[in-house]
Structure 1
């Protein structure tokens, strides 16, 4: 149903049909930036930070303890009723300003006294830090869902969470700041601290101080309540009389109110929700409320956002790569591209069996399909590995690990061995692209990692875990006839077809980082050689088989400057692959692997030309 006013219809969630958290997510997603948050003390409970009143109680207790050191009950009695104790001993009403002026009259001493309540303890950065709720709110602000945050809290947890995601909020904690503030609609984030900041003497804390607001603050608050929808969380409405009256007297004509309640529902809160016909979300604490809201809005984003193009994805990767704040964005880019490949690698799309008459067509179609599906990921991996300094290696390796699992389940019924092995083709493309890129970027220690992780067990032998140097060997993955996708010249036959094909398939993703064809071919040759050496180091002799490819040709072995002799001369204890853990870090094992590879080539002249 809908209610109409002069501004147009206002959507009212249908009771029973849509659950309150769903209604809130739908409204916030459809109207980004028009909902303000009203946050009370409940949002900061999980952080270990005291409320403003809790700080007053504790300081009054300390004053009582030092005033009457011989009385063991002095502190407890003062904390039980701070206002009564203060007035009885000072003949003055208790106020935050008066309390701090008496307990810590100088700015430096005041800052030191307050820091223990609001700042992390030395060596414990995780203490008194933003909660899951604060961080979820920061993500909502970052995506533009929330722009205005009202809070009764003195702490700076909201500001810190926003800064963690690269947002410097406009903070208003004193009335005189309002006149010079940027318009709310023009600020990415505005935090209005209704009761002040913990380091500010102009805080409002006691019953008398909370009775009224300065005129400038009152007008700003009324404007927000009139122009924005409101999401209330962690506010009991028990003590803040000025805020209660303002919420009572100002009702948004445009957007509904959502009120999250966890625990006791006070009479004041009950009256406000009834008056405003608020949608009540009961039984969720602040962390649950805001992380759930962020998750639901993200799901709606995925439904409404058009897939980004390959080139746009690469641009986003280059922007996110050096920025630690955007690490989640970087993860999502690579992981989403990987997920798309996996989603399309079903038996229906990529058959594992075929009639003899259809086998060649299906094999060629599957290879072309896998390559097309992998295109965006290969460009992301090439650019990511090339520009990375090693910080994100686990992210690149995760893509290979996930792609490897495509071949980690049994297929029902009969299957063709070559088509079944082809399920590892996306993982091979990813590993090959990363390996050649690592050679081009002169980060060959990463080659050692790529060829060692992740391990995989075959469908028929779950006890023997194989490294990528073995199970991603191109001759194992590309077992079928490649002539349908790479026809040789008439009357000719390809030598090293898998090697030639992989170089062709990954040339375009690596074009930007290595435009010179000769240099690209040299990088492929070197990667094949290194991968083959690692394969020849396998502890099981029957698993020692090189990545049979163009690196085996005479030109790469028969001259002093050939790749074979160059790598042999590099084998010292400081060799990058040894430092990265290949060959167990043992120079003698590396030399033995090189010798095995040399002997294998001599014993198999059919693989030379």
Structure 2
């Protein structure tokens, strides 16, 4: 039976370069690179068609022929298309002649070197980093330039370079190679280049045998190869008997017909992107994973690492891995043992248990504040995962609710962090879209409608659940994430205020919900020294200052989520159902009145029993 884990839940959201980075760092050296002309485009090295056009133009000029459409002129003269290999073969009938013709296309002039042309590009340097760090040990290139070797030497790495059949016959076994650059068709410094159709139709048996071994035993990262002009290479790749590791095919445009067929045959992941963008991102991800493995992260270090990745516009892959592992660790705690009747005394929440969840809450807070739609999926899926954990048939309702604790903590710490960042689309998604089945009725409900702070802090006559929840998530938000006390308080109030309005809207629309009968932890008096202020003063403070109901509406309107001028772009609720500004205001009035009544009741009770006025205020 298939077991659902956080690894399964989060898997679909990974970008291809993140997936490959995980594979490279888990199995160093198990993937080889096959580089085509697309690798060197960013370095200013001309593509085959550019060399082809230049040679045709020079040939036409030398023969006194018109140069308007050199490709059509060639076809009319010779009855065949002016392919790169055919043109080069005609221009240079011998390997030495072709070498002399090609040299200016690959070696930079002083001006070109100064302007960064025909020198290693970001893509070349990224491959050099992958090889230096041991993630990749074999690079097979079809290019005649030597930019890969130059990039490696820039990093003080002297690679093993082979470029002839004799080199291949004398090379050590592939598994013994460490930093191998194999010029499969030769390089421009060696006369034994393979260019023409005859030369590319079939490889020497020793070369074909070694390629077959490579394609059989290694995963592949194919970069910028069209697959069109290399029939011998296509034949060997098609005949590869097995695929032990995955294949990734990177090209800046849609794969050609030949490439698409080969990619399908190897079940490759096709990636449409620039090599100069994608390969550095791959190298950065590998570095992040390596650093994570070398330095087990404390909570503060984990958050700092994620912030560095976000500030550098990198995918925080180490944070992703840590989040998954932390979720699985929480799932394995004895307190969440779903096979027992009562996993814990659900009325207790001690310091040790809070510490167990500190890293989880801090990672969620960081991703909610700094993340985007892609990284949001890493943790919002966990709300449904933890909210749907199975329990023993005889388990009590309190026990079943307790099992959702990591989901409830993620909801509140993530919701408050997203509110602080004004990520209103994420806030509304948290309040409405993570759906789980109600443990008893099995009705599908949003997590936010099903569980509130009492899921974590059940009422026992003394516990104010909302206040306990605030103090539990305050440290990850104010201290670890660095929001500070004032921003954390304001964002907490805004989030639970929106939460209450969402709940009220569901009730009005007769949508299924479970109301949270609990007094929200809100600042209703801006000055604790004025403990004798009457309820009316507290109400005025509530309306205009602290909860900032009107200010919140202004913020939401400004953000474009909804507003009087955009009635069709409203706050999304319940899939396609929406709440417009009028409905929001109506629900807001009910919530305000309810909270005012609760405040008034507390005030009257305190006056009767002589309590001070500290209870409804922040300490």
TM-score by length of 1: 0.57
Alignment deviations for residues 464-494 of structure 1 (CA, whole Å, 9 cap, x no partner): 543343123223x247456xxxxxxxxxx52
Q: Alignment partner of 2:476: what SS?
A: coil
| Structure 1 contact 500–550 (Cα < 8 Å) conserved | yes
The Cα of 1:282 is off from its aligned counterpart by 5.0
Which residue is 2:397 aligned to? 417
Aligned partner of 1:507 among 474, 482, 486: 474
The Cα of 1:374 is off from its aligned counterpart by 2.1
* Residues 218-297 of structure 1 aligned to structure 2 (within 5 Å): 229-230=177-178, 236=184, 266-269=204-207, 281-282=216-217, 286-287=221-222
Alignment deviations for residues 125-160 of structure 1 (CA, whole Å, 9 cap, x no partner): xxxx97xxx99957844855458968452479x97x
Q: Alignment partner of 1:95: what SS?
A: helix
1:337 aligns with 2:326: yes
Relative to structure 1, is the Cα distance of residues 99 and 60 closer, same or farther in structure 2, using a 3 angstrom cutoff? same
The Cα of 1:322 is off from its aligned counterpart by 0.9
The Cα of 1:542 is off from its aligned counterpart by 5.9
The Cα of 1:507 is off from its aligned counterpart by 2.7
CA–CA distance in 2 between the matches of 1:423 and 1:272? 55
Alignment deviations for residues 302-329 of structure 1 (CA, whole Å, 9 cap, x no partner): 9976743222212212211211234434
Structure 2: give runs of 5+ residues left out of the alignment: 1-20, 61-69, 194-200, 223-242, 249-281, 527-534, 562-569, 573-577, 604-619
1:531 aligns with 2:531: no
1:563 aligns with 2:557: no
| Structure 1 contact 447–577 (Cα < 8 Å) conserved | no
The Cα of 1:418 is off from its aligned counterpart by 0.5
1:575 aligns with 2:523: no
* Residues 430-469 of structure 1 aligned to structure 2 (within 5 Å): 430-441=410-421, 446-459=426-439, 465-469=444-448
| Structure 2 contact 416–492 (Cα < 8 Å) conserved | yes
CA–CA distance in 1 between the matches of 2:91 and 2:310? 56
Q: Indicate the RMSD between aligned Cα atoms, in angstroms.
A: 6.0
Q: Alignment partner of 1:466: what SS?
A: strand
| Structure 2 contact 326–359 (Cα < 8 Å) conserved | yes
| Structure 1 contact 536–546 (Cα < 8 Å) conserved | no
Relative to structure 1, is the Cα distance of residues 142 and 534 closer, same or farther in structure 2, using a 3 angstrom cutoff? farther
Count how many residue pairs are aligned between Structure 1 and Structure 2.
468
Relative to structure 1, is the Cα distance of residues 327 and 148 closer, same or farther in structure 2, using a 3 angstrom cutoff? same
CA–CA distance in 2 between the matches of 1:54 and 1:440? 53
Aligned partner of 1:363 among 322, 340, 346: 346
Which residue is 2:587 aligned to? 593
Alignment deviations for residues 318-352 of structure 1 (CA, whole Å, 9 cap, x no partner): 2112112344344334444334333447853x666
Aligned partner of 1:153 among 143, 164, 173: 143
Which residue is 2:357 aligned to? 374
CA–CA distance in 1 between the matches of 2:323 and 2:303? 10
Aligned partner of 1:545 among 515, 519, 524: 515
Range 327-336 or range 437-446, more displaced: 437-446
Range 564-573 or range 394-403, more displaced: 564-573
Which residue is 2:6 aligned to? none
| Structure 2 contact 292–318 (Cα < 8 Å) conserved | no
Structure 1: give runs of 5+ residues left out of the alignment: 1-24, 119-128, 160-168, 173-177, 196-209, 214-221, 246-262, 483-492
Which residue is 2:101 aligned to? 98
Which residue is 2:453 aligned to? 474
| Structure 1 contact 499–548 (Cα < 8 Å) conserved | yes
CA–CA distance in 2 between the matches of 1:139 and 1:501? 49
Aligned partner of 2:76 among 71, 77, 85: 71
Alignment deviations for residues 390-446 of structure 1 (CA, whole Å, 9 cap, x no partner): x52552453132143123143343111101111221122122223333455566665
Relative to structure 1, is the Cα distance of residues 237 and 71 closer, same or farther in structure 2, using a 3 angstrom cutoff? closer
CA–CA distance in 1 between the matches of 2:211 and 2:583? 74
Which residue is 2:308 aligned to? 319
Range 325-334 or range 554-563, more displaced: 554-563
| Structure 2 contact 323–363 (Cα < 8 Å) conserved | yes
CA–CA distance in 1 between the matches of 2:88 and 2:488? 78
Q: Alignment partner of 2:301: what SS?
A: helix
Which residue is 2:531 aligned to? none
| Structure 1 contact 338–377 (Cα < 8 Å) conserved | yes
| Structure 1 contact 370–425 (Cα < 8 Å) conserved | no
Alignment deviations for residues 505-557 of structure 1 (CA, whole Å, 9 cap, x no partner): 22322342568767755543443223212221213266273572344787597
The Cα of 1:590 is off from its aligned counterpart by 1.3
The Cα of 1:231 is off from its aligned counterpart by 6.5
Relative to structure 1, is the Cα distance of residues 458 and 441 closer, same or farther in structure 2, using a 3 angstrom cutoff? same
Relative to structure 1, is the Cα distance of residues 313 and 336 closer, same or farther in structure 2, using a 3 angstrom cutoff? same
Relative to structure 1, is the Cα distance of residues 143 and 183 closer, same or farther in structure 2, using a 3 angstrom cutoff? closer
Relative to structure 1, is the Cα distance of residues 154 and 454 closer, same or farther in structure 2, using a 3 angstrom cutoff? farther
The Cα of 1:384 is off from its aligned counterpart by 4.5
Aligned partner of 1:408 among 368, 378, 388: 388
Which residue is 2:90 aligned to? 85
Q: Alignment partner of 1:563: what SS?
A: helix
Relative to structure 1, is the Cα distance of residues 284 and 74 closer, same or farther in structure 2, using a 3 angstrom cutoff? farther
Aligned partner of 1:44 among 13, 36, 39: 36
| Structure 2 contact 431–447 (Cα < 8 Å) conserved | yes
CA–CA distance in 2 between the matches of 1:385 and 1:283? 38
CA–CA distance in 2 between the matches of 1:282 and 1:51? 33
| Structure 1 contact 378–429 (Cα < 8 Å) conserved | yes
| Structure 2 contact 140–184 (Cα < 8 Å) conserved | no
CA–CA distance in 2 between the matches of 1:87 and 1:61? 12
| Structure 1 contact 385–434 (Cα < 8 Å) conserved | yes
